[in-house]
Amino acid sequence: MDLENIDTSKWADLALDYGVEYGLKILAAAAIWIIGSWIIKKLLKGTKNFMSKSSYEESLQKFLLNLLNWVLKIVLIVIVLGTVGIETTSFAALIAAAGLAIGLALQGSLGNFAGGVLIMIFKPFKLGDLIEAQGEIGVVKEIEIFTTKLTGLSNKEIIIPNGSLSNGNIVNYSTEGTRRVDLTIGVSYDADIKKTKEILMEVLTSDPKVLKDPAPSVNVSELADSSVNFAVRPWSTTADYWDVYFGITEKAKIALDKAGIEIPFPQVVVHKNS
C-alpha cells in the first residue's frame, strides 16, 4: 500500500466532521444527564415535602418516591440515548421485548410488586405496627416495592415477599391499640374456687398496667387431670403486653403461694411389682 498516495487531508476532514458531530451529541447527552438528574432530585424532594405536609404515611412516601425515582430515571435514559443518536423507537421496542422476557422469567417478582401496590392501597398495616403473617411475628420496619421488612421479637430482621404477604392472612396487633393477655393458671382440686378467683382478680386490679376498661376477668376454664384451670384475662396496651404477660404470671404465683393455694405440677407414679 502506497502511503504517499493516501489523501490524509480527506481522512482528517472526515474524522473532524465525525468528531464534531458525535462530540457535540455526547456533550449534549452528558449535559442532559447532569441537568436531568438534578431535576429528578428536586422533583423527588418537592414530592416528599408535599406528601409530608399532606400527612401521607411514611411507608407510602417511601414506596411512591422509590417508584417515581425509577420511572423518571428510565425516561431520562431514553432521552439521553435519543440525544446521542440511538433510535428511541427501536430502543422502546427492545425494552418492551426485554420486559416481556424478564416478566416471564420473574413472575414471582412481578407478583411481589403487585402485592406491594395492594398493600399501599388497602393499608392492612403501617410502619411500627406489630403484625403476624406468613408464620412470622414482628414490628413493621420498612415497606419496599417487592418486600416488607419486620423486626422480630428477638430483634432479628424478617423479610417477607409482598406477594405472599398480600395474599395471606395478616393479624395486626396494633390497630386497636389494646390487647387481651390470655393466661391459664391451674390450682389444686383442694383449693377454694371462690377464694382463688378473688386472689387472682386482686392481682389483676392492683397492677397499674392492666386496663380497667375493658375489665379483666377470671373464670374456671377446665377441670383438668391434675388441676382446676382458671382463664385469667387482663387487658393492656399493645406496648405493655409482654410486661403484663410476665408480670401477672409472676405475681399470681407469689399471691397463691402466700395464700397457701397449691399450684400442682405433673407427677409420675411408678408401681413396682414385688
Check if the beta carbon of residue 237 is closer than 8 Å to that of residue 180.
no
DSSP of 201-217, one letter per residue?
HHHHHT-TTS-SSSPPE
Cα–Cα distance for residue pair 34/39, rounded to 1 Å: 9
> In terms of Cα–Cα distance, which of 160, 163, 131, 166 is closest to 238?
131
Cα–Cα distance for residue pair 91/274, rounded to 1 Å: 93
- Residue-level pLDDT, tens digit, the chain, 274 residues: 444 545 566 555 555 555 666 667 778 888 888 888 898 888 888 888 887 776 666 766 777 777 788 888 888 887 887 777 766 666 666 666 666 555 544 456 678 888 888 888 888 998 889 999 999 999 999 888 788 999 987 889 999 999 899 889 999 998 888 999 999 999 999 999 999 999 999 999 999 999 999 999 999 999 988 899 999 999 999 889 989 999 999 999 999 999 999 988 766 556 666 5
Check if the beta carbon of residue 204 is closer than 8 Å to that of residue 210.
yes
Cα–Cα distance for residue pair 255/191, rounded to 1 Å: 14
Burial 251-272 (b: 16+ CB within 10 A, else e): bbeebbeeeebeebeeeeeeee
> In terms of Cα–Cα distance, which of 198, 206, 176, 178 is closest to 256?
198
138 Cβ neighbours under 8 A, 6+ residues apart: 130, 131, 150, 151, 152, 153, 156, 158
115 Cβ neighbours under 8 A, 6+ residues apart: 161, 162, 163, 164, 165, 166, 167
* The model's pTM: 0.57
